[in-house]
Amino acid sequence: MKNFKFFALMAAMTAMFALSACDDDYKLDAYFVTEFDEYEVGEIIYFDNYSRNAESCYWDFGDRYYTDLWEPEHYYTEPGTYTVWLTVYEDEEEDDFKKVIRIYPKRVDTSQDETIDE
């Protein structure tokens, strides 16, 4: 009888664990990536949205520009450190994710194009 109770308890715990793991599959989760964390002024940044279970989203690029596109592109006109926020929505729920992007001044090409006169 002890073995039956033990196995019944183990089966119940396994089922509860499996059900709680399934709940995570339906959890609203905001997440995005960029290729790099550092860019130059004017360089286009592609934001890949890997959010789960969201109906819509809202981006705040930290420079007074915003969009509701799912996977936007953006560039910065001034050097600085910017916090990009992604907020995703599903019914009455929302979830946020942020990432810091550093923007550096555009490098100046100092190489000289030498031409040879014949």
**CATH classification of the domain holding 95:** 2.60.40.10
What is the rounded average pLDDT of the residues 80-98? 97
Residue 62 falls within a domain, yes or no? yes
Residue 37's nearest CA partner among 109, 94, 98, 113 is 98
Q: What percent of the chain has pLDDT over 90?
A: 68
Q: What is the number of structural domains in the chain? A: 1
In-domain check, residue 9: no
Q: For residue 17, what pLDDT is reported?
A: 47
Which DSSP state fits 64?
A: S
User: Of 41 and 3, which is predicted with more confidence?
Assistant: 41
Q: Could you tell me which of 30, 38, 35, 29 has the C-alpha nearest to residue 100?
A: 38
Q: Is the pLDDT of residue 5 over 90?
A: no
In a domain, 42, yes or no: yes
Containing structural domain, residue 68: 27-104
Chain CA centroid to CA 44, Å? 16
55 within a domain of the structure (yes/no): yes
Q: Which pLDDT score, from 0 to 100, does residue 80 have?
A: 98
Q: How confident is the model at residue 18 (pLDDT cuts 50, 70, 90)?
A: very low
CB 52 within 8 A of CB 71: no
End-to-end CA gap in the chain: 102
Identify the residue with better confidence: 31 or 21. 31
pLDDT at 82: 98
- Within-domain flag for 5: no
Both tokens of 75, joined, read 């560039």
DSSP single-letter state for residue 26: T
Is residue 38 included in any domain, yes or no?
Answer: yes
**Which comes out higher in pLDDT, residue 113 or 68?**
68
d(CA 34, CA 102): 12
pTM: 0.73
d(CA 102, CA 73): 16
